[in-house]
Amino acid sequence: MKDLYASDALGADNSDVMASFGAPGMRHSIRPRRTVIDHEDEIDSDLPFEESLPISSASAAAAPYVSDDRVPRWQDLPVATPGPGGDMPLVDDHRNSAAARAFDLLRTRLRQTTFEHGWVNIAITAPTSGCGNTFSATNLALSLSRVPGSRTVLMDMNMRSPGLARAFDLESPGAMSDLLGGRVDLGQQMLRVSDTLALGLNDQAEVNAAEILQDSATAETLLRMRAALQPEIVLYDMPPMLEHDDLSAFLPQLDGVLLISDGSQTMARHLRECERMLEGQVPLLGIVLNRARTSSLPKYA
């Protein structure tokens, strides 16, 4: 895997990775939010998070887990070892960095919230492309996987531009659309990279991604996957929600959404529109600020 400070996966040179995500880092809160700033044109570093909790998603939470003896269990998944040539910074390589600590804090808050509400299915998305949602999904999954005895599944549902196989420097077994459509078995498509982390990879872009996500076969496949693997959390790396309707199409399968904003490009109006799209459907668990300005970050003794 690449050195944290030597990757340009987010479109930054080496110094930008350090300055915009590493030491100055990331801000986040795992609390369902109700309002964003109303008037600013640019994202405010002190964006407040309200305390009230929205109603949980009835659609995803109400769906029962039905056991199916035909699909493999967690221990039966093929094991793969991530390679050294991943195309984005992985904070596991720098456990003492500010970025690693930020993801660990995000992990703990997410676990507390999901366990409290019985939520499992969490989408990682962004308002627009280039905000770093695949980077964030990858590193959050790695942080979750460090919890002993846990089970996390990370699914590449960004069928517009699949990126998880490159992030882990692994060869994808095939197309995510084939898995979701029931044309390949779970054991053929899913890989386990550790005792606590499994991946659903994808090697094929899909023009009709939103239609695939709305297909009843997709819902059935994901139910069978959760019943067989019994994960604590399933993270779905999704395309930008203001550029495609994929996330909207997938909302019935979700318990919550984490939104990745970019301190250099995300505008308050982008966040307002994302909240409007989610309102009354799925809780917005929080906003992760990537590439935060150094001056906006609190200092602790």
- Dist CA 157 CA 247 (whole Å): 9
pLDDT digit string, tens, across residues 8-66 = 222 332 223 222 333 234 444 444 443 333 333 433 333 333 333 333 444 444 445 44
Asked whether the predicted pLDDT for residue 257 surpasses 70, the reply is yes
Strand order in the sheet with 121-125: 190-192, 197-200, 152-156, 233-237, 121-125, 256-262, 284-290
Task: List own/partner pairs for 12-16 with CB under 8 A and 24 or more apart.
Answer: 12/291, 16/291
> Shortest CA distance to 158 belongs to which of 222, 201, 218?
201
DSSP secondary structure letter of residue 27: B
Residues 6+ apart with CB under 8 A from 285: 30, 31, 32, 110, 113, 122, 256, 257, 258
pLDDT in tens, 159-185: 999 999 999 999 999 999 999 999 999
Residue 88: which pLDDT band, with cuts at 50, 70 and 90?
low
How far, in Å, CA of 137 to CA of 140, rounded? 5
Q: How far apart are alpha carbons 153 and 224 in whole angstroms?
A: 13
* DSSP label of 79: B
Instruction: Using the predicted structure, report yes or no on whether residue 293 has a pLDDT greater than 60.
Output: no
pLDDT at residue 17 in the model: 29
Q: How many whole angstroms separate alpha carbon 199 and alpha carbon 191? A: 5
89 or 298, greater pLDDT? 89
Query: All domains of the chain, ordered by start, with CATH?
Result: 4-296 (3.40.50.300)
- Comparing 11-15, 69-73, 267-271, which segment has the lowest mean pLDDT? 11-15
